[in-house]
Structure 1
Amino acid sequence: MTLEITGRSAADIAASVRALIERGALSPGDPLPPVRNLADDLGVNRNTAVAAYRQLTQAGMVVTRGRGGTRVAGRSPVAQEGFAADSVLRDVATGNPDPDLIPDPSRALTGMAGRPVLYGEPVIDPDLERWADAWMRADLAPSDLRLTITSGAADAVERLLAQALVRDDAVALEDPCFLTSIHTVRVGGYRPVPVPVDDEGMTVEGLRAALDQGVRAVVCTPRAQNPTGASLSERRAEQLRELLRAHPYVLVIEDDHFSMLSRRPFRSLIGPDHRRWALVRSVSKFLGPDMCLAVTASDPDTAERLAMRLTPGTTWVSHLLQRLTLALVTDPSVVSAIGEAGAHYAARNDAFAARLTGLGLPAAAGDGLNLWIALPVPARDVSEHLMRRGWLARAGDEFALGDASASRRLRLTVHDLGEADADRLATDIVGAVRAAGGRLIPTGME
């Protein structure tokens, strides 16, 4: 039975199924015909049916459950960063910066006003452009670059992909991956290709395999990778640059989200002769999530296409916000406070990792706002036991594209816990591991 599914091409078949879902002829949980049956009924090649189901899966319309077949997806919300709504539990899964460490903009606000900005004027405030140009050039090998201002890093990545790709193009993503990157690629209708991440960042073999699959873009976090906290080593960055030399027109997007807070040096995948590239730096981690501004440095062609999507009067970034950003990042006291905040995050994460290690659960802190904790049992089991103890933690499989090991990881945000709460959480995690059947390493044997 084809359920009135029609079409000869993958796109037409996918559109037919989408129409059935939109009309209510198919409901969440309803099964779709097996690929072989659908191909036979429509008189098309089996690969055409596979491609149609893949398009629907990437669009979030259907889910594949192995032997359970392909079914219409439910309308469950996509996992997002931030506080859990309506929870009475202590949330240690937020991924948020500490509000007490976000600089107060009050003094800067009083002195930033100037003449009104009118239609037709430059999209980038000239003073911010001069500061940002020096900020970006300090870490980039290509000398010919252009700057663009967007409403945050996610906005920049979405626009960069949209100006370079078409639906079903393949994009290399780190695995495990930042939730917003997963969402952006899937909503855009692109095909995510997972690249494993280890302690030195994106792996060489993983990127080689992705390039062999024909990816048109690579999205990489060079330091403070979310969720793992990994940062590129110099050795790994050099290996990846060498690999990319044979693929100069693959768009490489580096999301340096932690930038001014990072305790690690910046190391880039972008070689001096790479033709399609962009480095994105948001201010949201150190100036606050409500400061929706990111600086993007890119090659001239990419910058021109990106600028066409930021026409003044429609989607440009407010010059008031640009001036406020400039006032803050050029204030020595604010810059000093940002450095202190970065040191605080690192110290609190190191201290919590040491707590867990001392209790028999070896842990190490990377860079960034979060900890990526390895467990001897499934993280979902541990998180359920933690809920009974009053904590809301995030299981690692939410961040995974294909990495099975992520199912035994917790991502924790602990930098705002006081000493007593940190001790209690560490003890409760160890207790939850034991309750889930996990074995710990006796102190002194790790």
Structure 2
Amino acid sequence: MELHIRGRSASEIAESLRELVERGDLRPGDPLPPVRSLAESLGVNRNTAVAAYRHLTQAGVLITRGRGGTRVADRSPVAQEGYAPDSVLRDIGTGNPDPALIPDPSKALAGLAGRPVLYGEPVIDPGLETWARDWMAAGLGPAGDAVRLTITSGAADAVERLLAQSLTRDDAVALEDPCFLASIHTVRLAGYRPVAVPVDDEGMTAAGLRAALEQGVRAVVCTPRAQNPTGASLSARRAGELRDVLREHPYVLVIEDDHFSALSQRPFHSIIGPEHRRWALVRSVSKFLGPDMCLAVTASDAETADRLAMRLTPGTTWVSHLLQRLTHALMTDPEVLARIEAAGAHYAERNAVFARMLGERGIEAAAGDGLNVWVGLPAGADAVSAQLMRRGWLARGGGEFQLDAGDAARRLRLTVHDLDDDDLARLADDLAAAGEAARSVPARADAAGMR
């Protein structure tokens, strides 16, 4: 289809292209003419065409992929965590903690009464700040000596605001591949350019990070423990390698999302070196105190903290002090801490049991750390998931977490920590049967075509 692009100035050309998108003549993913071709067809200077494309890229209408050209941005929604609505199947793809293992806040709530907090007062409640400073500084080494704290409405809120205070549209961000769904959503919605960094059993790879930095990324988002979806945690060796890679890029913003912190069965190893200038460590309480708590603590360098505070000013100036006090009361209660420790051990034990069952059936599985099990498949995840649905299970395919070409499309991320041994064994049997059935479908189709 011939595109009727008009205009002599950059603003006129941009407006013409926007009209084509709004009318549906240009759809998400459609390629646009190369800058040189567009300039020649309109009889304008090449810089004018460049300016038109840049304007629409910054507005999120277009997306530039280097040698891949310029295309209409895809604004389709990203998959979200949580239960699937209106399903009669057993949902094993939720990514949720077990509600039975979340501490009851009733006793702590009874002691929260106090004077109201007014405008202009400190945004961090004093009790929470004292506790959080020790919690966040541990493991940061020399960087922890100059820590500044910020409270946000959860980890995803913190990451979004951290990126926004440092980046503009089309800036490149290094993300783990496969990647946490909230990070994919944040980067896509803001119009940043994701650069995939492979993840192996020890976490983000040093070679992948080096390649991403060579592509000019301005921020790195890394999960030091319980990487979602793979369950990988950084080893001390790998963390050291990543610090070495980052040493030559001290002003690249490094965000560590330690979302599983208090539940993790693995030690914390930071990739933030003592000489790094722009960094942030984010820890949410959602996995162990419940997703509805919506509170995260961010420790960062002073400049990043000041910029993050500025990003909070126009909207949510502070997180409710009642919520902060509740978090502090729970996280300083020995009974609650013991319950959190038991919950972390439970998740690890259930996942390990299931991974062992799958291994006995010849299925690759990594229990890792976290709420989920990352399962390898003999066929595509969509085909295996369809077979599992016939057996009463609703699974989540690994392709939803994939940024670049890789093996995630032949994996499932399963949340099974609330299943007993009998249900785990039944699921393992059904998964083995589903994989075999999915693998044999193409062979049967080929045989049918030959007859």
- Normalization by structure 1: what TM-score? 0.90
SS in 2 for 1:197: strand
Structure 2 partner of 1:256: 258
- 1:121 to 2:124 alignment: no
Q: Aligned in 2, Cα 1:308/1:332: closer, same or farther, shift over 3 Å? A: same
Q: How large is the RMSD of aligned CA atoms in angstroms?
A: 3.0
Question: Which of residues 339, 347, 350 in structure 2 aligns to 1:348?
Answer: 350
CA contact (8 A) 1:18 1:61 kept: no
CA shift, 1:44, in A, is: 6.6
Amino acid at match of 1:187: L
Amino acid at match of 2:287: K
CA contact (8 A) 1:248 1:274 kept: yes
Q: Aligned in 2, Cα 1:25/1:433: closer, same or farther, shift over 3 Å? A: closer
SS in 1 for 2:366: coil
Q: For the residues of structure 2 that align with 1:12 and 1:169, how far apart are their CA atoms?
A: 25
CA shift, 1:377, in A, is: 1.3
Structure 1 partner of 2:369: 367
CA shift, 1:15, in A, is: 6.0
CA shift, 1:426, in A, is: 1.0
Unaligned runs of 5+ in 1: 440-446
Question: Which of residues 269, 273, 276 in structure 2 aligns to 1:274?
Answer: 276
Q: Aligned in 2, Cα 1:60/1:363: closer, same or farther, shift over 3 Å? A: farther
Structure 2 partner of 1:95: 95
CA contact (8 A) 1:280 1:294 kept: yes
Amino acid at match of 1:299: D
Q: For the residues of structure 2 that align with 1:324 and 1:409, how far apart are their CA atoms?
A: 39
SS in 1 for 2:298: strand
Q: Aligned in 2, Cα 1:310/1:79: closer, same or farther, shift over 3 Å? A: same
CA contact (8 A) 2:231 2:366 kept: no
CA shift, 1:61, in A, is: 6.5
CA contact (8 A) 1:58 1:190 kept: no
Structure 2 partner of 1:319: 321
Structure 2 partner of 1:158: 160
- 1:81 to 2:63 alignment: no
CA contact (8 A) 2:146 2:301 kept: yes
Q: For the residues of structure 2 that align with 1:406 and 1:239, how far apart are their CA atoms?
A: 25
Q: For the residues of structure 2 that align with 1:225 and 1:15, how far apart are their CA atoms?
A: 42
Amino acid at match of 2:249: H
Structure 2 partner of 1:234: 236
CA shift, 1:136, in A, is: 0.8
Greater alpha carbon shift after TM alignment, 320-329 vs 379-388: 379-388
Matches within 5 A, 1:111-150: 111-141=111-141, 142=143, 143-150=145-152
Matches within 5 A, 1:40-59: 40-42=40-42, 52=53, 59=60
Unaligned runs of 5+ in 2: 442-451
For residues 164-220 of structure 1, the C-alpha deviation after alignment (integer angstroms, 9 at most, x for no partner) is 111111110001100100110111111111111111111111000111111110000
Q: For the residues of structure 1 that align with 2:355 and 2:323, how far apart are their CA atoms?
A: 37
Question: Which of residues 282, 285, 305 in structure 2 aligns to 1:283?
Answer: 285
CA shift, 1:41, in A, is: 2.8
For residues 123-174 of structure 1, the C-alpha deviation after alignment (integer angstroms, 9 at most, x for no partner) is 0001100000011111112121100000000000011011111111111000
Q: Aligned in 2, Cα 1:351/1:8: closer, same or farther, shift over 3 Å? A: farther
Structure 1 partner of 2:25: 26
Q: Aligned in 2, Cα 1:392/1:161: closer, same or farther, shift over 3 Å? A: same
Amino acid at match of 1:311: T
Q: For the residues of structure 2 that align with 1:246 and 1:70, how far apart are their CA atoms?
A: 31
Greater alpha carbon shift after TM alignment, 51-60 vs 338-347: 51-60
CA shift, 1:26, in A, is: 2.9
Amino acid at match of 1:339: E
CA shift, 1:57, in A, is: 11
Structure 1 partner of 2:175: 173
Q: For the residues of structure 2 that align with 1:309 and 1:415, how far apart are their CA atoms?
A: 37
Amino acid at match of 2:4: L
Structure 2 partner of 1:380: 382
Amino acid at match of 2:80: Q
Aligned length: 435
For residues 268-326 of structure 1, the C-alpha deviation after alignment (integer angstroms, 9 at most, x for no partner) is 00001110000000000000000000000000010011112223984310000000000
Q: For the residues of structure 1 that align with 2:315 and 2:407, how far apart are their CA atoms?
A: 47
Q: For the residues of structure 2 that align with 1:129 and 1:354, how far apart are their CA atoms?
A: 42
CA shift, 1:5, in A, is: 5.5
For residues 41-87 of structure 1, the C-alpha deviation after alignment (integer angstroms, 9 at most, x for no partner) is 346769x77994997699486899x99x9986777432111111122
CA shift, 1:19, in A, is: 3.8
Q: Aligned in 2, Cα 1:272/1:431: closer, same or farther, shift over 3 Å? A: same
CA contact (8 A) 1:2 1:41 kept: no
CA contact (8 A) 1:250 1:276 kept: yes
- Normalization by structure 2: what TM-score? 0.89
Amino acid at match of 1:419: D
- 1:301 to 2:300 alignment: no
SS in 1 for 2:150: strand
SS in 1 for 2:312: coil
| Fraction of identical pairs, as percent | 67
- 1:426 to 2:425 alignment: no
Q: For the residues of structure 1 that align with 2:55 and 2:366, how far apart are their CA atoms?
A: 38
Q: Aligned in 2, Cα 1:85/1:12: closer, same or farther, shift over 3 Å? A: farther
CA shift, 1:21, in A, is: 2.5
For residues 370-406 of structure 1, the C-alpha deviation after alignment (integer angstroms, 9 at most, x for no partner) is 1111112111110111111121111111111104211
SS in 1 for 2:175: strand
Q: Aligned in 2, Cα 1:361/1:49: closer, same or farther, shift over 3 Å? A: farther
SS in 1 for 2:369: coil
SS in 2 for 1:148: strand
Q: Aligned in 2, Cα 1:421/1:246: closer, same or farther, shift over 3 Å? A: same
CA contact (8 A) 1:28 1:71 kept: no
SS in 2 for 1:147: strand
For residues 315-361 of structure 1, the C-alpha deviation after alignment (integer angstroms, 9 at most, x for no partner) is 31000000000000000000000000000000000001111111121
Matches within 5 A, 1:206-225: 206-225=208-227
CA contact (8 A) 1:178 1:226 kept: yes
